[in-house]
Structure 1
Amino acid sequence: MTLSRRLLHIRFHSTFSPSVRGTPLTHLVQCNRKIQELSQLGRLAEARRVFDSMCQRDSVSWNSMITGYTRYGMLEEARALFNAFHGKNVRTWTILLTGYAKHGLVDEARVVFQSMPERNVVSWNAMISGYVQNGRLQCAKELFNQMPERNAASWNSMITGYCRCGMMSEAHELFHQMEEKNSVTWMLMISGFVEISEYRKAWIFFSIMFRHGVKPNQANLVVALSAAMGLKEIRLVENLRTVAMKTGYEGNVVVGTAILNAYTWNGSLDHAFKYFETMQERNEYSWSTMIAAFSQCGRLDDAISLYERNTEKGVATRTTMMTAYAQNGRIYEARLIFDEIENPNVVTWNAMLAGYAQNGMLEKAKDMFFRMPKRNPSSWAAIISGFAQNGETQEALKFFAELLNSGTIPSPSSFTSALSACANIGNVGVGRQIHSLAIKTSTHFNSFVGNGLISMHNWQSRKQFYVSNFPVRGLTSCISFEVLKSGMP
């Protein structure tokens, strides 16, 4: 149970002395609050018993119970209660609409929206946001254009949609049309440019925001630090550190860890460690960031020393140290840490699996893979790349086929490894099928996958085709052209 839930649990039991199963509570305000708190804890059956026991209900009672059902995906129950409620207000309709959209049933959400006897700006925003969240940007745009009135949330929803699709020109146009921008608007634009690696534009937007007198919040600072990392300019990190100090955020552990990460990303290890030692508060990720930085710069002894200094090692810190050992060929020590972790998560399993694969211990990697209680796309990527990089191309392709059969969407790394395997054995037929699948999943536009495609097609002298048809969105990297040249006579 998370801390917030534990606190809610304590508050619930200290506020209400009668048992849910005991004498029905009749006080309207108390009952409504009890339904809300039980619903937030996921105790919907108990919340429903309180609801059913009430002698008197108001719209808050009904809306709270319907909200609980939609939050946990119990949409049939939510709909049944919605249909039974004869005093529905605009909030009731919006709750059901939002529930359908949140769980991917955007067409059902639109039916609810169209059926509403009255709508307010919140209803319109909920429907637009539902379209955006489900990738229906054109529908969102059409609805946005029909809105009788808009607020900042309306504009931000549309900007979010464009940013998610990398359509920054359209996002920029909306941004300029927006009369009253808030800190969320600025953050969306900055993070949108970061997402497509337009770090300079992201930094310019942050600078303009600052000049406009918008005080950066935690999210703005973290995103701006991502832009500084992309630009690899240490002076920008220093500038942001000054801004964090002036705005009272340097003591914030999230911002502090982001500053630390930016230092390490720029290769300023001494700056990073000096800053680490002055941090007012550190969390598990602060320790992990510094340990990983030492390891990646070949300073394993410093990484070990720092790891041993940490008296409260969590799963993330242990996993980082485990990875550091494995990357330096000390797989025995890595396994010792793995065995110390009481409940390793999927990231920890993946790290140990990758460690074995990187050290050529493929049978142990395979054993880890099959023993995993839960796998994610990174698990498959680790096993496929492990076999591919060790020359076991047939085994790599076998695992890629199993990945497809499992229904899991391959990660860019899995596509790249599979295409490299096809290149190594000259199997262009299978490579074309993988290429086709990459296009369907949009992974075709990842530069690493693009390089894998070029490597595979170089076997059949397809260089000219790929020079003229290689996707443009940031993919014509130096690496890509080097790969092309390597296959040319």
Structure 2
Amino acid sequence: MVCALPSISCCTISSLTIEKRQSLQSSPKSSLGTLETQLLHKFNSVSELKIVHSLLIKSGTPLSELPLSRVASVCALTPSFLYAQRIFQQVGQPEIVTWNCCLRDFAESDTPFNAILLFHQLQRHNVCPDSFTCSFVLKACVKLMDLSHGRIIHALVVKLGLLVNLVLQNVILHLYASCGEMSDAILLFDKMSQRDIVTWNTMITQLVKRGDIASAYKMFSEMPDRNLRSWTAMIAGFVRCRKPKKAIDIFKEMEQVGLKPNEATVVAVLSACADLGALDLGSRLHDYSNKSGFKANVLICNTLIDMYIKCGCLEAAKDVFEGMKKRTVVSWSAMIQGLALHGNADEAFGLFFRMTQAGVNPNGVTFIGLLNACSHMGLVNKGRAFFARMTNDFAITPGIEHYGCMVDLLSRAGLLQEACEFIKEMPIKPNAAVWGALLGGCKVHKNVEMAEVAMRHLHELDPHNDGYYVVLANTYSEAKKWEDAARVRKLMRERGLKKTYGWSSITVDGLVHEFVAGDESHSQSEEIFEKWKQLLVPLRLKGYVPNTSVVLLDMEEDEKEKYLFRHSEKLAVVFGLINLAPRETVRIFKNLRVCEDCHAAFKLLSEIVKREILVRDRSRFHCFKDGSCSCKDYW
């Protein structure tokens, strides 16, 4: 039995497009194939559905010929919901199957809330949901981060006895975890009688996102089975929490079990290589990416640029950049920032010009790179011009980072009063980094009074940052104000602050060697000290005189010299000279600013040993070659 012919008014017929009416008039009534082709799958509204419905009835065609999923989609959120239900009943197909198709489409669309609205329709009209219904609505809740509706569906799942369905449990787990309800997620996880790899990966991924790397790694260690996603999530987690060495260790474990990285894994490991300066592994991953067809992946290329820049391989970064068929603003900005860090300000400016000529609009990160280029080379007027262009030419509102760059630029150049006035006139409240930039300039230019002004603000903004106290104490020491320096150090002790000790690292044959000042723990310590004594002879002949003024401790001159000679960067460089092949570049990574004495020594040493010495300190690169440095002694 078929449904009664719906009433169709002249008004309804006139609502059809002219094209559809013409096709109706020209189609023979007996030609069902033509009717199907022209009308059956083209209706977009309830009124058009009713016209198609009437034509099926007139031609004696079964209602099963109607595309039921389309019927559901046009009627789902309208008062004609019951009309669709009657059609499904006539066809004899369980209506929840069709509604589920509609729910899935809504959940996966750009308007997932429609899935929740449809679910309420089903509830109002007593349509009994099944596990698929709940799954699709929960997925919509996840996309919307809609915890309130998610809890309703969770309760319904329990009421219907569907909680034994592992897929449903995983979606509910994902909902709680992605909405930040980790206590509920952990409770559900602990109560689950069965788990699969999706369950474990969900928990690990969400714990990593929330910075709970310890709990994530504990779960990772307890997993009965792991797939590539498990390993990649853990690697990315350690990169995110600034533990690149651990990330690389996990990657090497992954390789040992025979898994090959995908594109997401490559990006995570390259980021770790960039942070650690692991050039050998980064280069190997570059080759692997090319062989695996990842060369067109813009994200990988951008990460490669960043990795090569941070490992001091500027030319390799340029090769990747120039070889890219498609570049984003991130690609251009990364390259500009890299040129700035290496002291190539003119190249950075030229690349910015190329960028604008190519029709790529810069963003705030682009201008941070440009302002850094100006700061590292003391180009004050150029920096002022770029800062003005941000707003005037590109409608970019300067952020706190841009103001910090400007204060750094002015402070490094010795314009401390102007820098202080600039801070006072900022339209946004200066943060600790801004005042810290001024404090750093005060140390360079030995301005105690201005340093005290900056420190008063830093006491309020970041009272537990040991670095600021150390800079102030060193500023006092350089001014021979030993009592004031001692007072600052005493204040640090009272507040439980410990000085961050300087360290330097070098990678040889894939193994990272770390040194601290005066380090005697290394297996080659005696050889390093002896080699330094030998190098001192030609260094002194070249005019090297130990700069004991950088030792900000009240001690005898000979003791100061001994202290100088065991700076961490010197130990790392000498270790490199002993263990690296002749002519191979010595690449050093230091967590603090390179000292003036080491800087002077490395310039002369690069000429004596006839090789490049590359030092990355906390703010820039120093490339020592043939007796000079790329920073031109301005850093």
Normalising by the smaller structure, the TM-score range is 0.5 to 0.7
Q: Deviations over 1:78-115 (max 9, x none)?
A: 66335325131213223444555555554663453133
1:9: which partner in 2?
none
2-structure distance, mates of 1:362, 1:49: 64
The equivalent residue for 1:178 is: 223
2:124 matched residue in structure 1:
84
The equivalent residue for 2:48 is 23
Q: Work out the CA distance in 2 between the residues paired with 1:487 and 1:78.
A: 74
Query: Going by fraction, where is strand more abundant, 1 or 2?
Result: 2
| 1:222–1:255 Cα contact (<8 Å) kept | yes
**Whole-Å Cα distance in 2 between the matches of residues 206 and 323 of structure 1?**
31
CA–CA distance in 1 between the matches of 2:452 and 2:173? 43
Matched, 1:265 2:304: no
Residue aligning to 1:198: 243
Q: What is the rounded CA distance, in whole Å, between the counterparts of 1:147 and 1:303 in structure 2? A: 56
- 1:340 aligned to 375, 389, 393, which one? 393
Q: CA RMSD in A?
A: 4.6
1:31-81 CA distance string (max 9 Å, x none): 27967xxxxxxxxxx983598585556223552476379956689846633
Q: How big is the shift at 1:233?
A: 2.1
Deviations 1:133-192 (A, max 9, x none): 233334322311222322221010122244345544543343344333221111011112
Give the C-alpha shift of residue 280 in structure 1: 4.6
Distance 1:286 1:80 in 2: 47
What is the deviation of 1:285?
2.0
Matched, 1:314 2:360: yes
Residue 273 of structure 1 and its aligned partner are, at CA, apart by 1.6
Give the counterpart letter for 1:126 in structure 2. Answer: V
SS for the counterpart of 2:48 is coil
Map residues 78-477 of structure 1 onto 2, 5 A cutoff.
80-81=120-121, 83-84=123-124, 86-100=127-141, 106=147, 109-116=150-157, 117=160, 118-119=162-163, 120-310=165-355, 311-316=357-362, 320-321=366-367, 323-325=369-371, 328=374, 329=380, 330=382, 331-336=384-389, 338-341=391-394, 344=395, 353-354=403-404, 358=408, 359=410, 360=418, 369=427, 385-386=433-434, 389=437, 424-425=455-456, 449=465, 451=467, 461-467=490-496, 477=500
Q: Is the 8 A contact 2:339 2:345 kept in 1?
A: yes
Distance 1:279 1:105, change over 3 A: closer
User: Could you tell me how far apart the structure 2 residues matched to 1:425 and 1:318 are?
Assistant: 30
Q: Give the Å deviation of 1:204.
A: 2.0
Cα distance 1:350–1:259, how it changes in 2: closer, same or farther (>3 A)?
A: same
Counterparts in 2 of 1:146 and 1:255: CA distance versus 1, 3 Å:
same
If asked which structure has higher relative contact order (CA below 8 Å, sep 6+), I would say: 2
Matched residues in 2 for 1:18 and 1:365: separation? Answer: 64
**Distance of 1:244 and 1:22 partners within structure 2:** 55
Please name the residue that 1:414 is paired with: none
Cα–Cα, structure 1 residues 450 and 71, in superposed 2: closer, same or farther, change >3 Å? farther
Taking a change above 3 Å as real, the CA distance of residues 104 and 478 of structure 1, as seen in their structure-2 partners, is farther
Deviates more, 1:231-240 or 1:88-97: 88-97
Which digits, 9 at most, give the CA deviation of each residue in 1:293-326, with x for residues without a partner? 1123221111122233344242346851575057
Residues 48 and 339 of structure 1: CA distance in aligned 2, closer, same or farther (over 3 Å)? farther
Equivalent position amino acid for 2:360 in 1: G
Cα separation, partners in 2 of 1:199 and 1:349, compared to 1, 3 Å: closer
Between 269-278 and 77-86, report the one with greater CA deviation: 77-86
Higher helix share: 1
SS at match of 1:48: coil
Residue 389 of structure 1: how far off its partner (Å): 4.9
- Give, in whole Å, the separation in 2 of the partners of 1:32 and 1:366: 65
Distance in 2, Cα, partners of 1:51 & 1:356: 63
Alignment CA distance shift 1:47-1:96 (3 Å): closer
Q: In the comparison of the two structures, how many residue pairs are matched?
A: 400
For normalisation by structure 1, the TM-score amounts to 0.66
Cα separation, 1, equivalents of 2:218 and 2:254:
16
CA contact (8 A) 1:319 1:351 kept: no
1:122: Cα distance to partner?
Answer: 2.0
